[in-house]
Structure 1
């Protein structure tokens, strides 16, 4: 018995079989079945035989009734929560070129599964994986050496069972393999895994003992010759079951350790949004995501993942409401920077309010201060945004990725924002919800011009039909590390606004297709253009709407669209030119918190009147406020030595902004008697009534 074992071992050394590692136990003599072929005895341990089955990876004729052993294949799960590519740098380890010396731990998960050959061959019966599977896995890293020659560097892995048929493999890498492996995982895609997986089985062998005097073909080991069958299931073919009839020798089964080879390309499997954040670099105990290969060539300082996207060409020409586009290399986030921010309009109306608040100082001119609050949003045309979302799918950075197009999430507080178009107010900025920004403007009596007068000026400019006089800039955030300021214009104007949720469109059945647009808000909208948007294709050409007015809570039909997935509409508020003062409160919510009245100055200026030439000794002005005729206003008396006079009156706060229409009766006293002149004047539009010679004639 021992002699045959020794002989078989010597045979494997002299004539190694590519699927055999070695013998693990004593041989088992075969028995002859009814067909006259060699079989394992019924009490043999349950192990597969290594003759090839009907297809690769299949080991038929196992000891199970109506069952088949199979060799598994290995696959990379689509999502791998165990994946990690963790690089560690130390300041005391520097490569010869002065760059950091990187060490990396690379971990991935593999899943055992049935190959297509097994699935297509075995139609019935139970499938059993070959026993005692021990996968040995190498990471093969192609690396270019001197002379431009590419050689394969092998890094052995360490395996650990996760659960069931899943296991992890971990590789320890050092430079230069760290940089090369990272480049292959994210750009090149040429890494692969090579398996030399071992398992247990029976090797069938025909053992003969040549007689002396007969021709001997082949080497003899301890008086034995061996012929082995199969290849461990690495190739298909008809199982070899030799007949005992007419042959000299015996069939025996050696318990052996066999192995099979597998190769799994990694490609760009891990260059996805699910895995990209788990490429990390650690220095001085601080860990962050690897942004690109620069992080391995430099010591890992804080860096922004964003860079400006230039592959889309001239942004302002292709998307007129946008100015710049930034791409996040790790997150796959595309941030579109709008050309400007404007007052937000939603189904509730404009997000603009004016609050009057008591001024504690008794010496102030008007007795209160005022606080404007605005929610401003990006004035990004929805058609431009739809076109951008379609276009980014075709840029090189999008290969193998799912990019997400968004607008800035708020302010970059490292860079100040401002409203230089209105220096008389104190302006502050804060993050709003989502993509919005809160802008506050405080106006108080801390300067010669009364606060009420300044508020009136502010409201007039808010409705200005020309270039917006209330202009500024906001610094928007990409992330906390982007080094350069990113700014957008700020326009506080009712005629240039941002819109969200104030309008919905529905496609209408019929031929030709059409759509309906419904104004959900309390304000009239001016429709500028509309376009069909098709999933994955972006918008069709824009259909001009010519500034059609869609009244509050009304619906209108849109022709030339409706064939796409959705319909997008460009719009603004419909604002009268000029805007009546009373209508301003439709757009700006007015709140009186602690005061019901405001002290407002009424001023008469006769410095331009030549009293002597006109023969006027004194000029008396009696003012009657049309909105409050019962409120007495003291008479103002002007003379050559006192040409300007004013009086404060207490008024409801709203009156100071909706208008102070007044009738001013001027009594002109001369040497020949007195005469009166009546003048209509609004002390909100023009806080000072200027009296000249033409006024009194």
Structure 2
């Protein structure tokens, strides 16, 4: 393609004439009879000076910039055939204000060096008659010679500036243009401007009559109305549009699907299944600046920003904590049952971190001039394996949640090959959920940003009452009095600890530390600075340590409609006791369950050769899931005639450890 977009020009005005008329040429890579920055005194009005506008590449971010590729067809070999359109803008430099002594003197007909200065004239932009552009792409031919492809462009006005649109990119030149813009910088655009004759009083079209004195010096010019020539300026684009902030502006569309172009290979293969999301690095290290987040991704097409949380936890809200334990009859085990634990998971996010990230993203050059929406992922990447830290859990499933940005975890617990009944394992898992001491239950799954996203984005789940996810429903904030907003604990059965809040005033966040525990329904007043326009409250569950007996159901909903009772093992182990040395014939243990004193538990007998014993009792599911505390009345029967039996009292929670190990020390036996 060799079309240059060159304009038809009128009469050429010589440099001698320009100098004699007091015309000053401006700087820049330009050619023509009226270079940008040229000033021309009006021959009819000394108070006016006409100015030839100067243009430069737009200041970043160039909101008009776009590189849009389309697959319209295939070539003769069946390869995808692309077309592309490039749009960029030019900014007009300010028009001077005020005259110059030389111009004033010339307009007076006096000596530029010593004429009488009249009041400063008014500068006016010379009106543009027409403009065109040419895009140039250098390349090496098969012989290694430097050549250039040129493509005509259309020029339109936009405010004070110009917008250049090039539509003639086809086939391999689409890749050449993309590579030049993002990798080599070997690309330029030439702007060709033409101007009418000089405007004069009472004339709508310029009739710039060359002064007779100049006409006499230049026999090629007579005192005729003539059209002043224009100018041609070349702008080296270089790698201006290679910065990450412009990445979303490179798109490829095929079959109705649009994706961000991230490499030239994508254009060669015409892969429209490329994800629109790319990781944002312009804000620095996300995890360091906003600790409750791990990474940030921006959708180049939708403008959606997805912040990846550092952890997910059980959602707390106006209905309590979204975690349940369901007892289900196990048809494969006689009298047994399985337990299904269900957790609604949400992002464990500091609301102050979220607001700071939102504000910083909105101010970043990356999104300047674009609509953006900050949210969090909602898709599970089913291609990645799941993990859960507890060996007591048989099967784990992660799925998308009912609400956006949430997920669901379901864990099954049954009678396994480890010899522990399901109810014991469920009890241990629930205790770990509540414990401030033991390692929390941890799960891992992967997130997907959209259906075309290939990168694995890990997500961590922490199941512990001290790591939960807030929601719009766990607190209520009353701002009737802006100077003293009231925060109410909206949770029905559990306390909340307010650890601090941030007040936003004129876009600035001011944080205040708190340590206030609110019982259900209780309120607290905050004291933000004057003119605060938003409040962000930091809070977490207020969990007693240790958790009182029976308090588990304040945090976990236990459903036992299908199974009212379950088998529970009560076991004793005295293998560490030397019966002969201790002169014992037998150890008899009567077990009384503290919460079920009327439940009959068979007496367990331990003797030489049978130093372990166990029994099964049917206990209510709810009791078995909270604690199976028991009092042990132990009778030590002597093997020596005439020696009285000795009694020892101990306690034990069979829900936590179904087998109680008896030691010599606690029985008062010799070592």
Do these two structures clear the TM 0.5 threshold for a shared fold by scoring above it?
yes
Match of 1:352 among 323, 327, 332: 323
**Within 2, Cα distance between the matches of 1:181 and 1:695?**
84
Tell me the residue number matched to 2:584.
Answer: 616
Q: CA deviation at 1:656?
A: 0.5
Q: State the Cα deviation string for residues 150-201 of structure 1 (Å, max 9, x = none).
A: 99956489xxxxxxxxxxx9955425764688799999999899999xxxxx
Tell me the residue number matched to 1:251.
Answer: none
Tell me the residue number matched to 2:17.
Answer: none
Tell me the residue number matched to 2:410.
Answer: 440
* Residues 382, 538 of structure 1: alpha-carbon distance in 2 compared, 3 angstrom cutoff: farther
Tell me the residue number matched to 2:170.
Answer: 174
* 1:276-295 matches, cutoff 5 A: 279-282=251-254, 287-292=257-262, 294=264
5+ long unaligned stretches in structure 1: 1-14, 18-78, 95-99, 109-135, 158-168, 197-230, 241-260, 262-266
Please report the TM-score for the alignment, with normalisation by the length of structure 1.
Answer: 0.64
Contact 1:155–1:173 under 8 Å retained in 2: no
Q: CA deviation at 1:367?
A: 0.8
Match of 1:86 among 70, 84, 87: 70
Tell me the residue number matched to 2:292.
Answer: 321
Tell me the residue number matched to 1:418.
Answer: 387
**Within 2, Cα distance between the matches of 1:565 and 1:190?**
48
| SS at structure 1 position matched to 2:425 | helix
| SS at structure 2 position matched to 1:581 | coil
Larger-gyration structure (1/2): 1
Contact 1:507–1:567 under 8 Å retained in 2: no
Tell me the residue number matched to 2:212.
Answer: none
* Residues 643, 293 of structure 1: alpha-carbon distance in 2 compared, 3 angstrom cutoff: closer
* Residues 152, 678 of structure 1: alpha-carbon distance in 2 compared, 3 angstrom cutoff: closer
**Within 2, Cα distance between the matches of 1:171 and 1:303?**
24
Q: Does 1:549 align with 2:545?
A: no
* 1:540-619 matches, cutoff 5 A: 540=510, 542-545=511-514, 547-561=515-529, 563-619=531-587
* Residues 467, 596 of structure 1: alpha-carbon distance in 2 compared, 3 angstrom cutoff: closer
* Residues 598, 467 of structure 1: alpha-carbon distance in 2 compared, 3 angstrom cutoff: closer
| SS at structure 1 position matched to 2:288 | helix
Tell me the residue number matched to 2:367.
Answer: 398
**Within 2, Cα distance between the matches of 1:649 and 1:392?**
60
| SS at structure 2 position matched to 1:476 | strand
* Residues 287, 622 of structure 1: alpha-carbon distance in 2 compared, 3 angstrom cutoff: closer
Q: Does 1:475 align with 2:446?
A: yes
Contact 2:400–2:407 under 8 Å retained in 1: yes
Contact 2:311–2:460 under 8 Å retained in 1: yes
**Within 1, Cα distance between the matches of 2:564 and 2:588?**
30
Please report the TM-score for the alignment, with normalisation by the length of structure 2.
Answer: 0.66
Contact 2:135–2:153 under 8 Å retained in 1: no
Match of 1:451 among 419, 422, 426: 422
* Residues 662, 236 of structure 1: alpha-carbon distance in 2 compared, 3 angstrom cutoff: farther
Q: State the Cα deviation string for residues 314-335 of structure 1 (Å, max 9, x = none).
A: 2222111112222222322222
Greater Cα offset, 673-682 or 628-637: 673-682
* Residues 508, 287 of structure 1: alpha-carbon distance in 2 compared, 3 angstrom cutoff: closer
Q: State the Cα deviation string for residues 495-514 of structure 1 (Å, max 9, x = none).
A: 0111111123344647xx34
5+ long unaligned stretches in structure 2: 1-8, 12-62, 88-129, 141-145, 155-164, 205-229, 231-236
Q: CA deviation at 1:618?
A: 1.9
| SS at structure 2 position matched to 1:372 | strand
Q: State the Cα deviation string for residues 223-274 of structure 1 (Å, max 9, x = none).
A: xxxxxxxx9999786379xxxxxxxxxxxxxxxxxxxx9xxxxx99xxxx9x
Q: CA deviation at 1:688?
A: 2.2
Contact 1:515–1:561 under 8 Å retained in 2: no
* Residues 374, 192 of structure 1: alpha-carbon distance in 2 compared, 3 angstrom cutoff: farther
Q: Does 1:503 align with 2:475?
A: yes
Tell me the residue number matched to 1:50.
Answer: none
| SS at structure 1 position matched to 2:544 | coil
Contact 1:353–1:588 under 8 Å retained in 2: yes
Contact 2:312–2:348 under 8 Å retained in 1: yes
Q: CA deviation at 1:683?
A: 1.9
* 1:82-121 matches, cutoff 5 A: 86-88=70-72, 90=74, 103-104=82-83
Q: CA deviation at 1:286?
A: 7.9
